[in-house]
Chain A
Amino acid sequence: MEVLVYLVPLALALGFVGLLGFLWSLKSGQYDDLDGAAWRAIADDEPANDQGPSK
């Protein structure tokens, strides 16, 4: 059962990483437009975002 010593912290850490990922996605506005997001996934291509020579 010594395996618990590293498996349990590992599991907790993974869960924590998942939570941080969720909070990040929330903060960056990924839940603001759920209808649009569903369609963007199957859009042919991203609109050409021509930023000129600065990029």
Chain B
Amino acid sequence: MQADIDFSHYLKNAGTGLIHLDLAVEGINCAGCMAKIERNLSAIPDVTSARVNLTDSRLALEWKAGALDPALFVSRLAELGFKAYPFERDDAETLEAQRAQGLLRRLGVAAFAAMNVMMLSIPVWSGNVSDMLPEQRDFFHWLSALIVLPAAAYSAQPFFSSALSALRARGVNMDVPISIGIVLALATSVIETINHAEHAYFDAAIMLIAFLLAGRYLDQNMRRRTRAFAGNLAALKAETATKFISATEIRTVPAAAIRPGDIVLLRPGERCAVDGNVIEGRSEVDQSLITGETLPAMAAPGSAVFAGTLIRSGTLRVRASAASGGTLLDEISRLLDHALQARSRYLRLAERASRLYAPVVHATAFLTLLGWLAYGATFHDSIVTAIAVLIITCPCALGLAIPAVQTVASGTLFGSGVLLNAGDAIERIAEVDRVIFDKTGTLTLPELDVTNFASIPDDVIELAGRLALSSRHPVAAAVARAAGAAAPLPGIEEDPGQGVHGYHQGHPIRLGRPSFCGADSLANELLHRDPEASVVAFSHGDTRHVFAVRQKLRADAADVVSGLERLGLAVEIVSGDREPAVRLAAETLGIHEWRAGVSPVDKIARIEELARQGCKVLMVGDGLNDAPALAAAHASMSPVSATHVSQAVADAVFLGERLAPVRTAIVVSRKALRLMRQNLWLAVVYNVLAVPIAIAGLVTPLIAAAAMSGSSVLVMLNAMRARGRGTV
């Protein structure tokens, strides 16, 4: 099927007659795969370069224009056992990658400057107690200034600009005391050097910058990696659309290449990849991914369909629209804007800490100045001591305390299938005391499954599965998938809207609507027991059976729910689906609080009501109708099968068919938050020990440098504890 895709959207001109294509490749996880792919693809004539990126599971190809069909690469990779999909870096990922590279460049500059300055500082430190001439010391200080001032001006810009924007918004963040510390340390050092004094803090200042940049880079790199992984996931979904390129001709193109106004063909069994309005055709559609409603709806000319809608019976022609006129989408985007504004008011732990920290430190320095003046010291000595206090209290420890833990914890979460969208997500997820689940697609799997296999003989299951392979209807497809069928029966015909029929071993065989198979009474009996199921009937000669097809609960949902309750969290279901379906799910999972038939507005209202009562809610949902609630909740998670909008607003996205990542995320986040607090306390303890020395005027550049690296290493080591053990 892949070979049909039109690649032209993804091909890039790499200059001098070369064409470039990026592929996201599933299943590259070792050096062997890397070598195998590169060797095989570079062996194709005209391919000039094939390079695998193991970190991001991607392959960059370049070949001479004209000769090759890009589909060849995909089929060659498939022969090697890898699924590959073309992809495009989105803007968000490009931005994160640029930021990471920028930070690494600044880190390089700061680290090289720090190394060179250390070479000059060690002679000064040892010379001060031996026989260094003051002229030599001044010379070394000036050299240090020559290296450090330009290096700091360049590499500390991220701190300066962040501090400036915080001050402009009349707030304080951690970068404000850091920037003040850096600027004062450098300014004092220059003045001291001019005055031929003994101590200059160039080395401490540049080392501080290098340590802090290392923390920032780690943080940014993790963010970049998550973004890249999310980009791959989007590519692996390989969303395509069948587009009319003229009145009668169709072509399969990537969904990303569809423009508003294009006309798209939707056939039974397909999932719609665009938002639009039906212009021709009628079909039952499954909108459960959008509204949470599991009962099929009817789409007719004029009605709106959304990306994620599953087409069940008929064929539709849809005109794609950018901003759909559909009231649902409009309403959701309005709710979403509102909710996102509210979230930006959340104050991160680092901001709260710096709000307390900055005034205390600055007041201490000021009091030191006054104290020494009152004691009778000269103005120069007093101000130098006060600045030493500021320098020593501007430790990397505080700047590293939180990003270091965040990096390690998000790495652990990444490993257990949770991708974080927001940097402060860990803090917010750790604080929650109530989890609200959406039902459809979140507690249940998005795919349909057969629930009554146990009551049907094995040979019937096998036969029905093989028969179902001839149908495109999603309910039949679920039977085929669940039966594990691989070999379709010969000579089967499809009766649109009814089912499939043919002959097997001399007897007529049918699969489809109960009336089509003469199994109405069996079907009614089954529907009486399980009113939510879709029924598909099977007949072979005189044997008749009915299959109940529905969305199944995730296998570990009940365990996760009870696990969450053991963690002391209240669990609740708020769903857009009808009451019987929600009641059944709630009873199966042992959840006592549930609400059914809830509109997007009411979902937000419920979350706001809980927030007023002081609850901190983790919303877990996947549908378009959940998106505003995801944004309004204190923290939010989405399964990877969720709609784009929901994934984009959720704090975290979890992979796979299991619900366990939700619990893991809470456990890891709680541990990480504890470590962040510990780290902040470590930084405070360090200050309590170091500040009296500074106030006493005993701090030398050597002490400042040692204290700075010592506390940073301590905080980093403590952060490492967020890894491993106790994550499950």
A interface residues, Cβ below 8 angstroms from B: 1, 4, 8, 11-12, 15, 18-19, 22-23, 26, 31-36, 39-40, 42-44, 47-52
Contacts and interface: CB of A to CB of B under 8 A. Distances in A.
A24 to B, nearest CB: 11
A8 B143 contact: yes
29 contacts: A4-B136, A8-B143, A12-B147, A15-B119, A19-B108, A19-B112, A22-B108, A22-B112, A23-B105, A26-B101, A31-B104, A32-B53, A32-B55, A33-B52, A33-B53, A33-B55, A33-B56, A34-B55, A36-B53, A39-B30, A39-B34, A40-B31, A44-B35, A47-B35, A47-B38, A48-B39, A50-B42, A50-B45, A51-B48
Given A39-B34, A48-B43, A50-B43, A18 B104 contact: no
Nearest to A44: B35
Contacts of B43: 48, 50
Contacts of A11: 116, 119
Contact of A19 (B38, B104, B109, B136): B109
Most buried by A among B54, B115, B136, B139: B54
Interface of B: 30-31, 34-35, 38-39, 42-43, 45, 48-50, 52-56, 101, 104-105, 108-109, 112, 115-116, 119, 136, 139, 143, 147
A32 B98 CA distance: 11
Contact of A43 (B35, B105, B136, B139): B35
A42 B105 CA distance: 27
A30 to B, nearest CB: 11
B55 A35 contact: yes
A8 B105 CA distance: 25
Given A31-B104, A33-B55, A15 B136 contact: no
A13 to B, nearest CB: 11
B53 A15 contact: no
Given A26-B105, A26-B108, 8 more contacts: A11-B119, A12-B116, A19-B109, A23-B108, A36-B52, A43-B31, A47-B39, A49-B49
Nearest to B105: A26
A8 to B, nearest CB: 7
B98 to A, nearest CB: 12
Contacts of B104: 26, 31
Contacts of A23: 105, 108
A32 to B, nearest CB: 6
A47 to B, nearest CB: 4
B705 to A, nearest CB: 18
A55 to B, nearest CB: 10
A6 to B, nearest CB: 14
Nearest to B37: A47
A13 B675 CA distance: 43
Contacts of A43: 31, 35
A31 B105 CA distance: 11
A1 to B, nearest CB: 7
Given A12-B147, A26-B108, A43-B35, A36 B54 contact: yes
Nearest to B56: A33
Nearest to A31: B104
Contact of A49 (B34, B42, B53, B112): B42
Nearest to B108: A22
Nearest to A20: B112
Nearest to B49: A49
Contacts of B112: 15, 18-19, 22
Contacts of A51: 48
Contacts of A44: 35
B143 A39 contact: no
A40 to B, nearest CB: 8
A49 B30 CA distance: 21
Nearest to A42: B31
A12 B151 CA distance: 13
Nearest to B109: A19
B628 to A, nearest CB: 37
Contacts of B119: 11, 15
Contacts of A34: 55
Contacts of B53: 32-33, 36
B422 to A, nearest CB: 24
